[in-house]
Amino acid sequence: MRFVITGEWSRNRLLQTIVALYSLYVAGLWVTNALLYFEKMNLTPDSVVSYYRGNEEIFLNPRSYQGMLEVAHFHLFAMGMLLLVLTHLMLFVPLRGGLKAWLIALPFLSAALDEGAGWLVRFAHPAFAWLKIAGFLLLQGSLAVLVGLALWSVFAGSQRNYAGSAPPTSGAP
C-alpha cells in the first residue's frame, strides 16, 4: 500500500513487472475460461440447459449434485483469490473512487452469478440459462477490463495515487 500512497508505484520497475506479468497470466486464464465454456456450451439457452440438465438425444447426462459441488468448491476459492488480487490492483489505477467501487464489485457479482446460475439451471428452472449466459459474459468482460486497466496503469506510468491525487513531493519548493 505504501507504494500507492507515496507514488513509488510509478517508479518501482520490479513492482510494475510483477503486475504486468500477473495481468498477462490472468489474460491466459481469461482465454482458457472462454475456451472451456465454449467447449461445453455456447451462448444459446438450449446449449446451457443441455449441459446442466442433460440431453438424451446426444447422450449427455445431467450434471450431478456432487460433481457441481466439487466444481463450486474449487471455483469459489480460486475465483475469490483471483478477484481479490485483481481488484486490489485497481488501487493503483488513477480513476475516480466511485468508478473503482464498480470495478471492484462487478467482477465479484458476475463471478457469483456465473457460478450460481448453473445451479439454478440444473435444480430450479431451465429459464435461468439466460442468467448463466449473462453471468459468463459479464465475468469475462469485467476480467478483461481489470486486466486492461492494470496493464494501462503500468505502461501509462501515472504519477497519481489511489485517491486520484498527485503523490506528496519531498524537498524544498
**Percent of the chain at pLDDT exceeding 70:** 84
pLDDT in tens, 49-105: 999 999 999 899 999 999 999 999 999 999 999 999 999 988 878 889 999 999 999
- What are φ and ψ of residue 159, in 5° steps? -100, 20
- Is residue 149 a part of any domain in this protein? yes
Q: Is the pLDDT of residue 147 over 70?
A: yes
Residue 172 is predicted with a pLDDT of 45
How far does CA 123 lie from the centroid of its chain? 25
Number of neighbours of residue 78 by Cβ within 10 angstroms: 12
What is the average per-residue pLDDT within 113-138? 97
Q: List, for residues 19-33, the tens digit of each pLDDT value.
A: 889 999 999 999 999
Q: What is the 3-state secondary structure (H, E, C) of 110-137?
A: HHHHHHHHHHHHHHCCHHHHHHHHHHHH
In a domain, 170, yes or no: no
Cell 449473462 identifies what position?
A: 134
- What's the mean per-residue pLDDT of the chain? 87
According to DSSP H, which parts of the chain are helical? Answer: 2-6, 13-40, 45-53, 65-88, 97-123, 129-156
Please report whether residue 47 resides in a domain: yes
* Domains identified in the chain, total number: 1
| CB neighbour list of residue 53: distance below 8 Å, 6 or more residues apart | 62, 63, 121, 122, 126
pLDDT at 65: 97
Does the pLDDT value for residue 106 go beyond 90?
Answer: yes
Q: Per-residue pLDDT for 7 more than 80? A: no
From its phi and psi, is residue 8 left (phi > 0), alpha (psi between -120 and 50) or beta?
A: alpha
Domain annotation covers residue 43: yes
The Cα-based distances of 129 to 36, 38, 76, 107, 121 in angstroms read: 17, 14, 20, 19, 6
115 vs 90, which has greater pLDDT?
115
Asked whether residue 49 is assigned to any structural domain, the reply reads yes
Which pLDDT score is estimated for 92? Answer: 78
For residue 127, give its domain range. 2-156
d(CA 62, CA 54): 4
